[in-house]
Structure formats: C-alpha cells, structure tokens
Structure 1
Amino acid sequence: MIVAIKRFSLLVLPAFLLSACGEHDVSEVQDWMETVKRDSHIVIVKPSAPKVYMPVPYNGKNDIDPFNPSKLLVVLARLKAESSSGIHPDMDRRREALEAFPLDTLKMVGIIEKNNLRQALIQVDKTVYQAKVGNYIGANFGLITKIADNEIEIKEIVQDASGEWTERNTKLELQESKK
C-alpha cells in the first residue's frame, strides 16, 4: 500500500507542478506571433524551366562497338602496322630452358670458365643451369649480352602499352650464399 502511494505521488506531483505554469504569459506570446504573421511577406520563387533534352542519334551501328574487346585489337594491329622501330622478337626460334622462368625467380650463383668461355651458373628452385653470352633467359625474350664476375647483363624485348616492341636492359646480380 505504501508503495502504491509513493508511485501515485511520483506521477501526480510533476503534473500538479506543471499545471502551475498556467496561461498568464501565453497572451503575450500570442500577440507577438500575430504581429510577426501580419508583418511577414511570403515570397515564392518560381523554379526555372527545365532544360530541353535533345536526343542525339547513334550513327555508329556499322562501326565496332566501343565496349567490344576486339576494338582494342584493331587499334593495336593498326599501331603495329605503323610501327617504325623494327624491333621484334624472333617468334620462330626454339625456346631455351631458362626462358620458361621469369627473371625474378632466377638467381645467379656463380661463374665457371672453360677454354676461355665464361658461363654463368643460374639457379631456379634447386636446379642449377649453365648459360653463356648469346643464350636467352627470362620470359621477356632476354638475351645475355655480357657475363661479368658479379652480374649478367641482359637485353630484353618487351611490348609497351601501344603494342610496340622496345628494348630494355636489365641485370641479374650474383647472390651471395648464406652459410
């Protein structure tokens, strides 16, 4: 019973206190609102007329679809025909063993010299190959041009973005063995 009285007082007391904030100051606020309504002017801005849509006819029905991958092939073929560099790899020659691996997977681990012929020792995984000047190496038609004590100089033939073949010089450096 006492709990019920406490609950009742908690609900009724705030309502009673709020009712004391009666209407004696409301008339002032209502007069001010009437004055503002009378003195205010409503301005309605007319929206501008929408732009007129002018359809453009598609006249390329007989042309190649611009989203078709064959369009890129046509452009590359045209650029290849116009190419003036004359550089291109020999596609008819027989591939060598070290051309099956990209250069970043190859390690030069040493050199050997027999009968004044210097050969580089190149390791792929756990297999070691011998290569001499004139051998091909790497996936980009790389030709070994020089074998020094600590590096192999390679001339690669690569295709640029326009499809033209260009030469690029790179090196494969001797890897120190870890004992």
Structure 2
Amino acid sequence: MRRFAFPWLALGVLALAGCQDAEIPALDRRLDEIRAKPAGRVEPLPQAPRYQAVTYDQAGLRSPFVPERPEPEENAIEGLDLAPNLDRPRDPLEQYPLDGLRLVGTLRTDGRNSALVRDPQGKVHRVYVGEHMGTDFGRIVSITDSSVQLVEVVSNGQGGWVERTRNISLKQATEQGQG
C-alpha cells in the first residue's frame, strides 16, 4: 500500500502547484484600481404610468368571430308547410348522408322503375319512387335508366323549410370507382 502512496502524493503536489499563477496578483491589483474609481450616477427609473382598468361592456353584443345571421324574413313562415313529417317511419337509407350513397344500377319490372343503391357498408338496397334516402329528408321523385332524382327538404336557417333537387347518377358512381 505504501508503494502506491508516493505516486499519489507526488500527483497531488503537482496539482496544487498548478493552482499558483503569476497573473493572480496582477489581476488583484487591476480589480483594486477599478474599485477605487468613483462610481457613476445612475438615473432613477421613470415613473410607471398609472393603470386604469377598462370594463368590457360588449358582452351582450354579437361576437365578431361568429358569422352574422340575417334577420328572419316575414315570408319564411310560408315555408313551414314544407316541413318534413317527423312522425313517419324512416326508410333504411335515411340513416346515411346522400354523399355516402352510390347508384349501382336501375331495373324495370312490370312497368315500374327501381334503383339499386349501395350504402357505405356495401349493402345494396332496391328503392322506388316515393321512398326516402339521405339525411335531409330526400324523397325519390323519379328514376331513369341512369339516375335517381330526389327532392330534399332542408331548413332555410330562418325557421322555414326549402326544397332542393338532387341527382345521383350512374356516371358519378363509375367516375368514383363505385360502379
């Protein structure tokens, strides 16, 4: 064990000798000169402006981040007679948005046209004129060899209802790779 003590002791003495630097007294003299100089005068900070609270009194007004809604028109009441019958039983294709339904074919049996419509799950339904499909109360008004025409009843946003015509065609279905 003594054999290892001498090298460690020599290494410690060398390390302590490295801490002695000739520049340290010169550095101490320079710091003393800087401390002996008179200190400069620092200007006082400017007075902070007095805070005045502003109350927000616009809470009852329209938010600028919400689109402005037009005032209801008087003739909107006329559209109430277009309101859909909410009590009638729903057809199976009324649970799907019209954009999710695809026309895959049409048939004519006994002089009556019908259409084959695929739902988003891939099931094909046979529909006739007068049946409903889509989530906007769409009623089928005509079936041709290449399309189905519907009349949807949608809210006009003013308390009334508006009818709009929509078409589903075989051409659209084949363009989208569904035919």
TM range (shorter): 0.5 to 0.7
Asked whether the 8 Å contact 1:80–1:163 carries over to 2, the reply is yes
The equivalent residue for 1:94 is 88
Q: 1:46 to 1:115 in 2, by over 3 A?
A: same
CA deviation map 1:80-105 (0-9, x unaligned): 68562744432256345245321345
- Corresponding residue of 2:51: 51
**What is the match of residue 70 of structure 1?**
none
SS where residue 26 of structure 2 aligns?
Answer: coil
CA distance in structure 1 between the aligned counterparts of 2:163 and 2:123, rounded to whole angstroms: 30
**What aligned pairs does 1:1-179 form with structure 2 within 5 A after superposition?**
1-21=2-22, 22-35=24-37, 38-53=38-53, 84=76, 86-87=78-79, 88-91=82-85, 94-102=88-96, 103-114=98-109, 116-124=111-119, 125-126=122-123, 128-132=125-129, 134-159=130-155, 165-174=161-170, 175=173
Gaps of 5+ in 1: 64-75
Deviations 1:13-52 (A, max 9, x none): 23222223341342123213433xx252212204414324
Distance 1:160 1:10 in 2: 93
Q: What TM-score, normalized to structure 1? A: 0.61
Distance 1:143 1:100, change over 3 A: closer
CA contact (8 A) 1:140 1:156 kept: yes
Give the superposed CA RMSD: 4.1
**1:140 Cα deviation from its structure 2 partner:** 1.0
Q: Do the aligned partners of 2:106 and 2:115 also contact (CA within 8 Å) in 1?
A: yes
Per-residue CA deviation, residues 101-146 of structure 1 (Å, 9 max, x unaligned), is 21345332211124554221224453532222x4321221112244
Counterpart amino acid of residue 7 in structure 2: K
The CA distance in 2 between the partners of 1:15 and 1:164, in whole Å, is 95
Q: Is the 8 A contact 1:99 1:141 kept in 2?
A: no
Contact kept, 8 Å, 1:80 with 1:164, in 2: the verdict is no
Deviations 1:131-166 (A, max 9, x none): 22x432122111224433333233322336666544
Unaligned runs of 5+ in 2: 61-68
User: How far apart, in 2, do the equivalents of 1:6 and 1:163 lie?
Assistant: 98
Which residue does the alignment assign to 2:66?
none
Q: 1:3 to 1:89 in 2, by over 3 A?
A: farther
| Aligned length, in residue pairs | 160
